[in-house]
Amino acid sequence: MNEPLMPPPAPRQAGKDGKALVLEGVTRVFGMGDQSLRVLRGIDMTLNEGQIVALVGPSGAGKSTLLHIAGLLEQPTSGKVLVGGRNCAELGDGERTRFRQRTIGFVYQFHHLLPEFSARENVMIPQMIAGLSRREARERADQLLNMVGLSERASHRPARLSGGEQQRVAIVRGIANVPRVLLADEPTGNLDPQTAADVFAQLTHIVRGTGLSALIATHNLDLAAQMDRVVELRDGRLVERTL
């Protein structure tokens, strides 16, 4: 667990004034026939370098939409998204994809591992897409899996792994390219309480050990209380919350 990570495969994007992610006046409106649904109503948020922030709120509040916009998977209706000081609205589609691959990692509630590949290969694939050789990707995948206690399970396909093991593979896959920002959408929501606590402990250990910044959506207020800050999304607006 305490083994340091290998050097990043590409230079990290330096944050501006210590800010890893900044949302400025972000709105998201969905058209519904002649009507519109305003999901986000002017979101302002700063995620500082090395900070872990919990994103809480009722189901349907728009947490996943906010994460998709922050992760450059979805365009806001209006407003700005800055990652490492870069205004992502200025990026074309291809550049946006490449920038996202270098700077942002994702972990979802359901692991979304490729079932025909082993745990090792699932961690190797995003690295190879980013340009690492097969040998480099394999070495790094083995080290990452060792960090979460899965060295002996590296050759196993997802069907032979427990739910907690699958999610740990998903976590190290999300950080394999050493992103600046890690976005997690209910990463322990599909696990029993004890496994969820164990997986969350390993997730925060990795985030703090690598100096990542993380925005983690969760319904688990006990886990949220262990993070550096808690923000709540309600009625399309984001407010600081004390637990």
Residue 10 domain-assigned (yes or no): no
What is the number of structural domains in the chain? 1
Q: What is the pLDDT of residues 61-105, one digit of tens each?
A: 889 999 999 999 888 999 999 998 888 878 888 888 888 888 898
Question: 110 φ, ψ to 5°?
Answer: -100, 130
Mean of the pLDDT values across residues 119-147? 91
State pTM to two decimals.
0.84
| Mean pLDDT score of the chain | 85
What is residue 15's predicted lDDT score, i.e. its pLDDT? 47
Does 223 reside within a domain?
A: yes
Q: Tell me if 76 is assigned to some domain.
A: yes
C-alpha angle with apex 72: 90 to 173, nearest 5 degrees? 135
Counting Cβ atoms within 10 Å, is residue 94 exposed (0-12), middle (13-18) or buried (19+)?
exposed
Q: Show the domain range for 23.
A: 19-241
pLDDT value at 124 more than 60? yes
Q: Is residue 8 part of a domain?
A: no
Angle at 191 between CA 185 and CA 197, to 5 degrees: 85
Output phi, psi for 238, to 5 deg.
-110, 130
pLDDT score for 5: 44
Q: How many helices (H) and strands (E) does the chain have?
A: 7, 10
Residue 123 lies in a domain: yes
pLDDT at 23 over 90: yes
Three-state secondary structure string covering 64-95: HHHHHHHCCCCCCCEEEEEECCEEHHHCCHHH
What CATH number does the domain containing 136 carry? 3.40.50.300
| Domain assignment present for 11 | no
Which tens digits make up the pLDDT trace of 182-212? 999 888 777 788 888 888 888 888 888 878 8
- 81-92: per-residue pLDDT in tens? 999 888 887 888
Residue 4 falls inside a structural domain = no
The answer to whether residue 234 is domain-embedded is yes
